[in-house]
Amino acid sequence: MIYAIIGLGVAGVTAAKIIRQLDPKGEIHIFSDEPTLYYPRPKLFEVIREEIKARDLYFYDSMWYEERDIKLHLGVKIRKIDPKEHLLYLDMGGSVAYDKLLIANGASSFVPPIDGVYTEGVFTLRNLNDAFKIRRHSFLIGNGKPTAVIGGGVLGLEAAYSFLKNKLKPVVVEGAPYLLPRQLDEEGSKILKGILMSWGIGVLENAKVERIEGNTNVEKVVLADGTVVPAEMVLLSTGIRPNTSLLELSKLPFNRGAIVDSYMQVSEDIFAAGDIAEFNGTIYGIIPPAIEQATIAATNMVKDRSLEYKGSVPSNTLKVVGLDLTSVGLVNPKEDGYEVIRASDESSHKYRKIVLKDNKVVGIIILGIKEANIANKLVNKKVDVTQYKDKLGDINFSLKDIIA
């Protein structure tokens, strides 16, 4: 059996690992248009800050792949898939046969239609090459120079933090009413904003970018209300778009991403996982669902229709500007019938929000507290916390006491 995987991100690597566990003798080939081994994208910020060398970025060294007889084809782009003939056509010419195929070619940075978006000094960050360009430009413009980050999501805030560490003066421009609108609520975001501003990171919310201006290099960002944000470097952190051109050329079903069923299957012998996969109209775009999807897809590639995907509980556990942040489940319910219990201590940068439905935990936000594992357990198991409700409003109460 020949297994082919397009993409060497977290979904591709996870799938290869699962396939090898289930089929010790099958051929596994991974094709990546990047010339490097797999690395976690959040570590790109450490490259920008010069806290890590590129060679230390890789999650597994080349020996890891060799020991598992996983054949890597780096810097090799797949131009087209022929589902009927089970062939992959390479961009450089020639073709490769497969029996089972996983499409895990991820997504690219979304570049919004803003005037001046292609001015010199305007960047996106998606791969190692982008990180090198940004780092080079950071030192080229020199210490103390103004920079702007368009987008106040996780990656945008990490970028601003990196610019601050590089002795630049960053301003975050967010179109939503508050930072991290997908992971936080307004109250938690207020605490985070206070922390950022105390460090010297500017924050503009409810801000729509009108245009970017500059001659030989970017000079400023102009907002719709006329506000001018000086910037000698701009990072666009405005979301992602799945890489669907391969699907289109191959006449495979896609909408925003590759349309998959509950077995992560796109068509006969073809599966998809990660940022490229669209399940029930949803593209998650975060690591935990990518791992879950890849595990299910890989298992079904070896053992036909043995696992079903039910969708993922949205879960983010990460470091944002050096602070622990966990956001899991339904954290901002729009309907009635939910109870919200908050606890905070702005002096210690701590915030917690627990969302209940019939006294059962359905969502949790935690900022500045290391309770990620227990938070995920409480939400995934929908634990009844009736007997603890009077304690949940105390920021010093540990959620670990609920499941002792």
Residues 244 and 230 in one domain: no
> Which domain, by its residues, includes 205?
122-236
Could you tell me the pLDDT band of residue 404, with boundaries at 50, 70 and 90?
A: low
Number of structural domains in the chain: 3
Beta carbons of 196 and 185 less than 8 angstroms apart: no
E-state strands within 59-217: 70-74, 78-82, 87-90, 95-97, 100-103, 107-109, 122-124, 146-150, 169-173, 202-204, 209-214
Residues 162 and 230 in one domain: yes
Query: What are the angstrom distances between the C-alpha of 100 and each of 4, 20, 27, 269?
Result: 6, 13, 10, 5
336 CB-contact burial (10 Å; exposed 0-12 / middle 13-18 / buried 19+): exposed
pLDDT at position 315 is 79
239, 269, 262, 242: which is closest to 254 by C-alpha? 242
- Token couple for 344: 């905070």
* Mean model confidence pLDDT for the chain: 94
Residues 185 and 158 in one domain: yes
Residue 191: CATH number of its domain: 3.50.50.60
Q: Which of 217, 236, 255 is the last residue of a domain?
A: 236
Residue 336: CATH number of its domain: 3.30.390.30
Of the spans 193-197, 222-226, 368-372, which averages the highest pLDDT? 222-226
| Domain annotation covers residue 377 | yes
Give me the mean pLDDT over the 204-226 stretch.
96
pLDDT tens for residues 294-310? Answer: 999 999 999 999 999 99
| Domain annotation covers residue 199 | yes
pLDDT at position 236 is 97
CB atoms closer than 10 angstroms to residue 289: 24
| Domain annotation covers residue 117 | no
315, 295, 163: which is closest to 233 by C-alpha? 163
Q: Which of 302, 325, 349 is the last residue of a domain?
A: 302
Residues 210 and 127 in one domain: yes
Residue 2 has pLDDT above 90, yes or no: yes
| Domain annotation covers residue 307 | no
pLDDT at position 347 is 84
Q: Which of 302, 326, 346 is the last residue of a domain?
A: 302
